[in-house]
Structure 1
Amino acid sequence: MAYSSTTEMTPEGDKARAGIQSVEVGFALLDVLAQALGPLMLRDLASAAGMSAAKAHRYLVSFQRLNLVVQDATARYELGPATLRLGLATLSRMDAVKLARQRLPALMDQTGHTLALAVWGNRGPTLVHWQESPSAMPVSLRLGDVMPLLSSATGRCFAAFIGRDNSVDKAQPMIEAELALARKLGRSDLPTTPAQVQQVLTETRAQGLGRVVNVLLPGISGFCAPVFDADGHLALGVVSLGSSAIFDADWTGEVAQALRGFAHQLSRDLGWSPA
């Protein structure tokens, strides 16, 4: 394949470094997949990227070899594990995440439970760091997992506090989809109406924590505390979870108090000032 170069111009008109045009064209496919709600057929992916199916297919073959793209059982294309690694590496290098990671060992000594950090990704609250307690009960969560907004402590925290920035528009469709699924499954432990969602979010804001007990994972309870940046935007969520048999899930318990204190101090160190 022949590669052509492109030359960018700065606002001042100076000549910038040449680039590889085919890389820039191919990135359009990855960008479409990143914004899609799920896997896409070749024709839909190509159309959204503004290229022919034949041209898109050539790029996708190379992307598959690099694990940037994978195909599911129905031949639809989805982002691959290599993009996840790149995304997690970028997210984990954010200053707020770095600062939180440095302080987690002290918080684990204080609580004795598994801790995690989550940030808002393109599909919702995403786990970007995991620090498991030596005495932790095994759970099926892993780095890169996107947490549901209504059935996880992390999701409830983000749904309650993400309204401080423009991501709230992205959260609403997720909430509506989860409501529909909860009604379909007849879940009695989840909100099934918009009014019930508001009750949960109001309680979360009032307590300063997202909380679930035996909801997302049987036998597991957890909290998630919001951390804000200097502009008052939700920077990340700090999660603590453990076996419901030993995890103190009381709003005024030691775990809740420790998590609130940790998140509050981290927020202040990031420049946040409470109203």
Structure 2
Amino acid sequence: MSKAAKSGAGKGGREDQDGGEPADSGKTQRGIQSVEVGGRVLLALAQARAPLALSDLAASAQLAPGQAHAYLVSLSRLGLIKRDELSGRYEPGPLSLRLGLMHLENQPAFRAAVPRVAALAEAIGFSVAICIAGPQGPTIVRYEHAGFPLHVNLHVGTVMSLPATSTGRVFCAYLPRATLDGMWANQSGAADSAMTPAGEHAAFGAALAEIRARGLACSVDVPSPGISSLSVPVLDAASRLCLALTVIGSTGAIDVAADGPTAQALLATARDIGAELAATPSLLASSTS
């Protein structure tokens, strides 16, 4: 037996014959401490939910600023973190975003939605966005372009206003209060709005009740003049919000009537996605885990 083979079969190094986990995987395994410290830096940034200065990031990761800077250099080279040249603050880098999107693409509701949303956009001739609950609010994670270009800058990563958009109001209508409170607190300008979750205006509360009754929200010329939208929730078998689908078009060109063909096509697509999740228990379990 070669030295390499003997070493691999030695204590703490033997693997199962099928190439799986080491035979002593029940024991605490040795890791790379510097990698774990770098993970603390990434975790601190993720928990902050906003770009951080070096001093703040170091404090959150419980590191000295000089030590944190060394890790940031390496993490930046890997693309896991990037530094904004104007503010000097650190934020997630392109590799982090790619990993996040890869995780998203493995989520059952998203996988079920993508082909149906593409078909919907082609059928109705209007752009359709898939939105999920992000830390800052409803966030576009897929945008199917259709029809004429719009004078609004919507793209993957755009965060939608909770009170001012049809998408945001769908999330307000269906999300648990604890989740919604966190989003509301993170949206800039939310403190200036009278329609906060802790004390919603009666009119806003009534609007949310109507959305739940119809399963549909509508915006006309708000928040962007000349742009209108319809948004619907995708619910699982337990009536939990998985994501929202939003159709966007030019005011006057898009029919935003609740009983109109665009709304009905949007609602049917959401029902189809929900039905696929409900029909496959394993998908439902993983989508809500």
Q: TM-score range by the shorter chain?
A: 0.7 to 0.9
Within 5 Å, give how 1:32-181 maps onto structure 2. Answer: 32-72=44-84, 73-163=86-176, 167-174=179-186, 178-181=189-192
Question: TM-score, length-normalised on structure 1?
Answer: 0.81
What is the rounded CA distance, in whole Å, between the counterparts of 2:43 and 2:225 in structure 1?
36
What is the rounded CA distance, in whole Å, between the counterparts of 1:222 and 1:112 in structure 2?
13
Residue-by-residue CA offset, 1:125-180 (whole Å, 9 max, x unaligned):
111111111434353111122222112221111111112x85234234247x5443
Alignment partner of 1:194 is 2:206: no
State the shift of 1:269 in Å. 2.0
Question: TM-score, length-normalised on structure 2?
Answer: 0.78
Residue in structure 2 matched with residue 217 of structure 1 by the alignment: 224
State the shift of 1:254 in Å. 1.4
Residue-by-residue CA offset, 1:50-92 (whole Å, 9 max, x unaligned):
2221111111111222332223323222222332222122212
CA contact (8 A) 1:150 1:178 kept: no
**What secondary structure is seen at the aligned counterpart in 1 of 2:278?**
coil
Residue-by-residue CA offset, 1:201-228 (whole Å, 9 max, x unaligned):
2232222122211113221111111011
CA contact (8 A) 2:135 2:183 kept: no
Alignment partner of 1:238 is 2:249: no
State the shift of 1:241 in Å. 0.7
2:148 maps to a residue whose letter is: S
Tell me the C-alpha RMSD between the 2 structures. Answer: 2.7
What is the rounded CA distance, in whole Å, between the counterparts of 2:249 and 2:135 in structure 1?
27
2:42 maps to a residue whose letter is: L
* Most deviating of 128-137 and 27-36: 128-137
Residue-by-residue CA offset, 1:167-204 (whole Å, 9 max, x unaligned):
234234247x5443457xxxxxxx58721432332232
Structure 1: gaps (5+ residues):
1-6, 184-190
CA contact (8 A) 2:173 2:212 kept: yes
CA contact (8 A) 2:112 2:276 kept: no
**What secondary structure is seen at the aligned counterpart in 2 of 1:19?**
coil
Alignment partner of 1:207 is 2:214: yes
Residue in structure 2 matched with residue 254 of structure 1 by the alignment: 261
What is the rounded CA distance, in whole Å, between the counterparts of 1:75 and 1:137 in structure 2?
33
**What secondary structure is seen at the aligned counterpart in 2 of 1:26?**
helix
Alignment partner of 1:22 is 2:29: no
Structure 2: gaps (5+ residues):
1-11, 13-20, 280-289
What is the rounded CA distance, in whole Å, between the counterparts of 2:29 and 2:99 in structure 1?
24
What is the rounded CA distance, in whole Å, between the counterparts of 2:220 and 2:186 in structure 1?
21
Fraction of identical pairs, as percent: 38
What is the rounded CA distance, in whole Å, between the counterparts of 1:194 and 1:98 in structure 2?
34
2:76 maps to a residue whose letter is: Q
Sort the Cα spacing of 1:56 and 1:48 in 2 relative to 1 into closer, same or farther, 3 A: same
1:27 maps to a residue whose letter is: G
What is the rounded CA distance, in whole Å, between the counterparts of 2:193 and 2:184 in structure 1?
15
Query: Which has the larger Rg?
Result: 2
Sort the Cα spacing of 1:54 and 1:34 in 2 relative to 1 into closer, same or farther, 3 A: same
Comparing both structures, which one devotes a greater share of its residues to strand? 1
CA contact (8 A) 2:49 2:135 kept: no
Q: Give the aligned length.
A: 255
Residue in structure 1 matched with residue 284 of structure 2 by the alignment: none
**What secondary structure is seen at the aligned counterpart in 1 of 2:175?**
helix
